[in-house]
Structure 1
């Protein structure tokens, strides 16, 4: 308890948070800190995004160990930007909060993609409301999964400009720790680490319990990730993930993009912590009682849902093929997700222990976490694509298809709103979980304990 109190004290009080900061708002906040505390806070432009936005890192602290914190590596996951805002504000006024390290906060890894999500940052935050303003790039356009690496003698991973900025910061600082801040839309909370020990893993999940956020009980979304403890998984290297996907007959490079930060920082012995938190929770997720379905049947049904979803979206794209400009980021994302759904179906069916009875929680997660999440993500981006293209040329065919598909998407949304709207987790609780998890790793690093 004393250690937990110490961590809480370093993080400090967190007031009510009603929305997520935008790219411009976080930049403005950082500029204000640098102006107010010029001796303790400095800002470096690491490069530019593909859209011309600066990729900026804010440095605070003077310790010999360097810690990197990545905000918004996936642009639909903005909890980390709010967490960075809090930690920066805290460390600028209290050097003790740096835990004896030098910190580098990369404010927003993907500002271009983040701007395409900002329409829902201020709220109201509902599952379907977020879906209507949702954007997530395909794997080849996700900066955190475009690090260069080698697999089976083949060079993979084509670094984006944003990735090159991350690489430059990593090479300059040779960090002892990287904390990458993520979130999901719905489900439970969990962590990826590159190592550690049981005491560390339980301390991480204690943060979830203290904030009344359920621990995720399902399979990790990183292929082949090893379970270290309930709610804690080992972050796999590219090679192990690619080998598993290849064994399933899938195109691993297309599915994964390239290496992750763990692959790139292996040369420096950097520890990695990834915080994955839900915006909404539902007590049914953790129901471990026996359900009325065999797990294999559940997995097969989920895979069939994935294939059916791909078919629906493919038919929409085919009907408007001659009206698509090829310039919309939503088209690239929709096409990549449609192409990836069959592989996701195969991976879902390959889960072990297919002959046992599924828990009620697993049944609920299969329908209203995985399947519903993909419907909301794909449907929201497909509708935005049709809107985007219609604004370009006002083609009646686009308007007709937009209205037709909007009715389908409305049905998907109504299902979620009626059966699994989720309970929104107060944003300040989510920020506290991330901030305390990072500080836990930082203090263990300071004290020479395994992370």
Structure 2
């Protein structure tokens, strides 16, 4: 059975429909059940394969703008069904989409360019993200998606949780809440075979030790934060919920567009100077979006919808980050790290502008054409600066699914 009849990212309803087919095809091995509801009342589905007590939990859709995970999850589920040894002493559980509300608002199933991707862009504010909300909200204010995810972890007590993430442009990397010895080799081999660069200096893992190129391990408690301004802490996220049962979490990132500039471990000649320059550009770009938002706000009937909430949240991160990059010593002195920060500094204002643009276009606002030109120009500059090349969707899925299985096998050996 082909899980992807078209080379595009499947929607959440399509992922659920395919999971129903898998469950119906192997009812003795598979169950599909609802484990919660989103804020808007959309169901959250869990597909389970096998009956062993030792469990792996795979989570897709935690970030709505990272669409590879749904297809990867289906690939892994089919592989587990077809390979008895993968389920001989392990059950596999797949949360089909952690944020179906967010997924309904990100609308680029087959983007042909970064510009087209951003025309349909949505990524919710941090406190609305299922995995990250515990890092910024008190327990009694957690969204139902978060409570559903932690409830599944409490029920399954997985030795490994794998959460499927991605990046618009860059390379592939893995973040681990505890080390998985042996994972770096199959990860690197897969990336090389599929011509996907390994992001050796990912800004998301700034200051983390590495157990191999692109495999980053969360530092011990008490380690200084690379970005002191950031309001959240991964140790408070759902990634760490598995630790109370002796488990760990692997976050597997894969790019939509690749850049060979993010895997250069060579020392940058002046990393502190470069980061100060990037901070200054970030502030300039952000100021343009803030002016557009201030100008349009009096004309908009709903200024607290999810797109504008998310845009404002992105903009609010900027002053602190710019100060971090200006006044804090670089967490890494490699060209790869400076390149990753460069990409991060482009994303924040571009994403905010894109979400504001969607609102303006929906209301036929007079400022939409000018902002659309800005989004187009920034998208093109981003792609040109990093020499972006599309990673075939099949390769995105294959690399991410291989890494999931390798993490499960090596983590199982670690806990055996």
TM-score computed with the length of structure 1 as normaliser = 0.83
Q: How far does residue 108 in structure 1 lie from its aligned partner after superposition?
A: 0.3
Counterpart position of 2:360: 386
Gaps of 5+ in 2: none
CA distance in 2, matches of 1:289, 1:166: 40
Q: How far does residue 365 in structure 1 lie from its aligned partner after superposition?
A: 4.6
Which deviations, in whole Å up to 9, do the C-alpha atoms of 1:281-321 show, x marking residues without a partner? 12333345676x62111100111112112211111111122
CA distance in 2, matches of 1:38, 1:283: 44
* Higher CA-based Rg: 1
Counterpart position of 2:213: 230
Instruction: Please identify runs of 4+ aligned residues in structure 1 that moved more than 6 A.
Output: 13-17
Q: How far does residue 190 in structure 1 lie from its aligned partner after superposition?
A: 0.8
Counterpart position of 1:5: none
After superposition, the Cα gap between the structure-2 partners of 1:17 and 1:260, relative to the gap in structure 1 and judged at 3 Å, is farther
After superposition, the Cα gap between the structure-2 partners of 1:197 and 1:181, relative to the gap in structure 1 and judged at 3 Å, is closer
Counterpart position of 2:240: 263
Q: Work out whether residues 156 and 258 of structure 1, in 8 Å CA contact, stay in contact via their aligned partners in 2.
A: no
Counterpart position of 1:196: 179
Q: Work out whether residues 202 and 340 of structure 2, in 8 Å CA contact, stay in contact via their aligned partners in 1.
A: no
Q: How far does residue 194 in structure 1 lie from its aligned partner after superposition?
A: 2.3
Tell me how large the CA RMSD over aligned residues is.
Answer: 3.1
Moved more, 320-329 or 198-207: 198-207
Counterpart position of 2:55: 66
Q: How do 1:9-408 residues align onto structure 2 when only pairs under 5 Å count?
A: 18-98=7-87, 100-117=89-106, 119-121=107-109, 123-147=110-134, 158-196=141-179, 198-222=181-205, 224-235=207-218, 244=225, 248=228, 250=229, 252-253=230-231, 255=232, 259-287=236-264, 294-324=270-300, 325-349=302-326, 352=329, 359=335, 364-367=339-342, 369-388=343-362, 390=363, 399-408=365-374
CA distance in 2, matches of 1:256, 1:387: 35
Q: How far does residue 349 in structure 1 lie from its aligned partner after superposition?
A: 3.3
CA distance in 1, matches of 2:204, 2:338: 17
Q: How far does residue 441 in structure 1 lie from its aligned partner after superposition?
A: 2.2
CA distance in 1, matches of 2:324, 2:88: 41
Give the secondary structure class of the aligned counterpart of 2:34. strand
TM-score computed with the length of structure 2 as normaliser = 0.89
CA distance in 2, matches of 1:185, 1:355: 22
CA distance in 1, matches of 2:261, 2:142: 40
2:414 is aligned with 1:449: yes
Q: How far does residue 348 in structure 1 lie from its aligned partner after superposition?
A: 2.8
Which of 407, 422, 430 is the aligned partner of 2:396? Answer: 430
Give the secondary structure class of the aligned counterpart of 1:50. coil
Q: How far does residue 265 in structure 1 lie from its aligned partner after superposition?
A: 2.3
Give the secondary structure class of the aligned counterpart of 2:47. strand
Q: Work out whether residues 157 and 257 of structure 1, in 8 Å CA contact, stay in contact via their aligned partners in 2.
A: no
CA distance in 2, matches of 1:97, 1:33: 17
